[in-house]
Amino acid sequence: MILTISHCGGTILLLFICVISVTATTAPPPIKFSAGFSNGNCEAHPHSGVELSAGGFFMVGDSVCFDDPSSTPRVQFAVKAGADGSLEWKVPLGDSGYNYGKNCLELHDGSLLVVGAVTVGSTELRSMHRLDAKSGRTLSHTTFPTPEGYEGGLDGLMGADLVFGEDLSVWVTGYVRGEGSEEGEEAMFLIGGGSMVAMKLKFPVVVVDGDLVSDPAVLFERVFDESSDGFTTPQGMRVLDTQTGSVIVVSTATPEDDGLYQMSAISFSSSEPSKTLWRNIYPANDANAPASKTNGTMSHPYAMSTSGKDGGCVIAGHAYPESTPNKVEPLPVGRMLRLDADGKAVWDARFRQDPDDHNVECYGVSLTLDGGFIATCGFGCMPETCARPSSKENKVWQVLTHRVDGDGNELWENLYTDTSKGNNAGENIISLREGGYAILIDSTSLGDEGTGGNFGLMVLESDTQ
């Protein structure tokens, strides 16, 4: 039997008691139900979600009111829903400037964490809200000062995971001294010019339910600004406690020879976090990867899942091939990369859908009950890069879900939305404890109309038996 507690970013806390046989089908499972959640008339989109231990879902992302210039430019947005998709509460977080909800966790006491960045004055800082699960009330809000010597840029958190065997303790990763990639506002996912950071935090017990509590204690903080093996790591994306004595942080990497983004990962000891176990880069054109179809120019990591009790992980994102069949500017294909406990590539899978002049960008991945993996992606056309005139008119994105076994072999792939229902892109996927999956969607077809986007929740039936 495998008991699981899913949490944001797609990782799964595993307790292995005994082993039973679970097999997967090769047919995409049907949709059980879907729901949408809106922030008034404002655009909102999710980045992470969790199946709660008592049932239901917690989702975190961002929201912006394009039609109200007097409002805060961007707020964090958090939603709690029942197991049937019914709304329990929703709350915006952030008083001024740009505020991003990037990840979340359910702590051992049931309180909820919103991980990301907030604006304080004119500075963006790493941020963590702790919310009461019953009401959404803020129990504490902590911002972390920029480490000395790293001032003058953007700070933020991107990933979080529970510390194995320690109640109320978490690992987080992100960046300090980052540079924005868009005029007036940093990019939604990728930061340039920064330095990856990792922290270990210990939260206090909530003595009186609903009362404000003190900030978490910082037990460990490390900035990864070294340049070794020919590359630097500007941004930690996801963090995983392997439950085997190590922690893995997946990050973007910038090779010194060409400056193109690539996937990378670093592992350090969970008992001695300053001790690096291994540090590797996994470029899109890695000729040593044990797979075919690995030619490419650059690759971005966006999500990570445990690979089980072996101490490894699976990273999901996308890769830019050197060329596409229609000879236009290279477009990203989906990428899933499995690493063992020593950071060595076990398999490296690439995939795309027809038409081949559309992007595949994968933002969520999760371990399945049978020991395989499932990723969710956005699939759509960027007008400036589409080759076909008809595609240039079709700017609608769809939810693409890609399912593989433990060896990376495709079991099924499916588009769960179509172009007649507005824009929808898969942002995160959760393997549910009782089977099936929950997909978080950046959606214009779920939730209120005319907002420009909402939190979408789509729950699939099980594909295992």
For 216, residues 6+ apart whose C-beta sits below 8 A from its C-beta are: 128, 140, 142, 170, 201, 202, 203, 204
> What is the CA 27 to chain-centroid distance, rounded?
26
Tens-digit pLDDT profile for residues 188-229: 567 778 899 999 999 999 866 656 688 999 999 999 987 667
- For residue 18, report the phi and psi dihedrals to the nearest 5 degrees: -155, 175
More confident of the two residues 18 and 127: 127
CATH code, 2-460: 2.130.10.10
Environment class of 79 (CB within 10 Å of its CB; exposed 0-12, middle 13-18, buried 19+):
buried
* Mean pLDDT value across residues 289-305: 74
For the chain, domain boundaries: 2-460
- Contacts for 390 with CB less than 8 Å, ≥ 6 apart: none
Lowest pLDDT segment from 19-23, 76-80, 260-264: 19-23
User: What is the DSSP code (8-state) at residue 38?
Assistant: -
In degrees, rounded to 5, the angle at the alpha carbon of residue 432 between the alpha carbons of residues 428 and 438 is: 35
Average pLDDT over residues 277-291: 76
In which residue are the tokens 């007097």 written?
70
Using a pLDDT cut of 90, give the percent of the chain over it: 64
Give the highest mean pLDDT range of 159-173, 195-209, 219-233, 354-368: 159-173
Contact predicate 90/101, CB 8 Å: no
The pLDDT tens digits of the residues spanning 35-73 come to 999 998 899 999 999 999 999 999 999 999 877 767 788
The whole-chain average pLDDT of the chain stands at 87
What's the average model confidence in pLDDT over 6-26? 55
Whether 159 shows a pLDDT value over 70: the answer reads yes
* pLDDT level of residue 14 (50, 70, 90 thresholds): very low
Mean pLDDT of 95-102: 91
pLDDT band at residue 79, thresholds of 50, 70 and 90?
very high
> What one-character DSSP code corresponds to residue 314?
E
b/e per residue 357-389 (b: at least 16 CB within 10 A): bbbbbbbbbbbbbbbbbbbbbbbbbbeebbbee
Is a pLDDT exceeding 60 seen at residue 278?
Answer: yes
- 465 band by pLDDT with thresholds 50, 70 and 90: confident
pLDDT band at residue 99, thresholds of 50, 70 and 90? very high
Question: Has residue 295 got a pLDDT over 70?
Answer: no
pLDDT at 184 over 60: no
Between the alpha carbon of residue 172 and those of residues 51, 78, 160, 219, 339, the distances in Å are 19, 19, 4, 12, 20
Query: Reduced to 3 states, what is the DSSP secondary structure of residue 182?
Result: strand
Which pLDDT score is estimated for 1?
A: 34
Paired tokens of 156: 């933020």
For residue 329, give the amino acid letter. E
284/293 Cα distance (integer angstroms)? 10
- Asked whether the predicted pLDDT for residue 369 surpasses 90, the reply is yes
Read off the tokens for 125: 């800082």
Q: What is the pLDDT of residue 320?
A: 85
Residue 258, pLDDT > 90, answer: no
Half-sphere exposure of 382 (CA within 13 A, CB side): 11
DSSP state of 208: S
Q: Return the structure tokens found at 86.
A: 């019914």
Distance CA 463, CA 28 (A): 7
Phi, psi of 448 (to 5 degrees): -65, 150
pTM: 0.91
pLDDT at 136: 96
What the block records as the tokens of 161 is 């995971």
- pLDDT for 387-438, tens place per residue? 555 554 556 899 999 999 999 999 999 999 988 878 999 999 999 999 999 9
- The pLDDT value recorded for residue 188 is 57
Check if the beta carbon of residue 330 is closer than 8 Å to that of residue 321.
yes
Query: How many degrees, rounded to 5, is the angle at CA 438 between CA 433 and CA 440?
Result: 145
Distance from C-alpha of 115 to C-alpha of 278, rounded to nearest angstrom = 26
> Residue 142: what pLDDT?
96
> If we measure between CA atoms, which residue out of 247, 405, 375, 242 comes closest to residue 308?
242
Query: Among 9-18, 89-98, 117-126, 203-212, where is mean pLDDT lowest?
Result: 9-18
In this prediction, residue 152 has a pLDDT band, given cuts at 50, 70 and 90, of confident
pLDDT for position 213 = 80
CA gap 374, 359 in Å, rounded:
18
